[in-house]
């Protein structure tokens, strides 16, 4: 199963993590979010994003919830929200199921603190040692966070599916 992880924003990242029963998760691909324009006119390139998502055909996408930052100005907050909305809409138009992940939850699951970008990159390198080329630069923290978001998302869906299956089995056995 291919899972898309998204660290949203103009300078965020995308990652495709493959999960197969009985094997360790693999980071297949990770890129910076495609953009068009520069400076104050820089924005998400939805066509390039769509092409990349369609090429990888993920079964599910996990996107970090967008939120304003305490010292972020209104213009920056608007740019970030617009970018996140464009990403969510593009992925939805690719007919990929989307789940929004709380930043504090996935960071806690990976033992990361707040805005520790380099810590996220190092954690991703630990979990995906064969993907060093995809995460080799310090500026690849968006890609790393996207991979960790995907991995956390899979764990939450797996636990929810397992709990649901258990409830269904209990209902069936009580009916029979």
Of 63, 52, 50, the closest CA to residue 30 belongs to: 52
Residue the block writes with tokens 């949203």: 8
Alpha helices in the chain (DSSP H): 46-56, 74-93, 103-109, 117-127, 141-175
Of the pLDDT bands very low, low, confident and very high (cuts 50, 70, 90), residue 55 is very high
Q: Which residues pair with 15 in a beta bridge?
A: 5, 30
Looking at residue 112, its pLDDT comes to: 84
User: Considering the chain, what is the average pLDDT of its residues?
Assistant: 83
Residue 127 reports pLDDT greater than 70: yes
C-alpha distances in Å from residue 123, one per residue of 29, 31, 87, 111: 17, 17, 25, 9
Bridging pattern class, strands 35-36 and 26-32: unpaired
pLDDT at res. 70: 66
Digit-coded pLDDT (tens) for 131-165: 889 988 988 888 989 999 999 988 776 554 444 34
**pLDDT single digits (tens) 2-52:** 999 999 988 899 999 998 887 888 899 999 999 998 887 888 899 999 999
Local structure of 34: helix, strand or coil: coil
**13's torsion region: left (phi>0), alpha (psi -120 to 50) or beta?**
beta
pLDDT tens digits, residue range 62-88? 998 877 666 766 766 677 778 888 899
Specify the pLDDT at position 164: 39
Global pTM reads 0.83
pLDDT value for 68: 65
């Amino acid at each position: 199963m291919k899972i898309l992880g998204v660290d949203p924003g103009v300078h965020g990242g995308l990652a495709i993590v493959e999960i197969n029963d009985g094997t360790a998760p693999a980071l297949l691909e990770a890129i910076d979010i495609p953009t068009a324009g520069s400076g104050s006119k820089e924005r998400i390139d939805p066509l390039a994003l769509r092409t990349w998502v369609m090429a990888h055909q993920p079964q599910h996408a996990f996107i970090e919830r967008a939120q304003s930052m305490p010292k972020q100005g209104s213009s920056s907050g608007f740019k970030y929200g617009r970018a996140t909305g464009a990403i969510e809409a593009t992925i939805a138009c690719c007919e990929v199921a989307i789940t929004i992940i709380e930043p504090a939850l996935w960071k806690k699951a990976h033992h990361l603190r707040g805005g520790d970008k380099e810590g996220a990159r190092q954690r991703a390198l630990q979990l995906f040692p064969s993907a060093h080329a995809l995460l080799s630069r310090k500026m690849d923290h968006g890609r790393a966070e996207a991979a960790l978001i995907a991995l956390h998302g899979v764990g939450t869906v797996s636990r929810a599916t397992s709990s649901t299956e258990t409830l269904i089995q209990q209902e069936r056995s009580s009916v029979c």
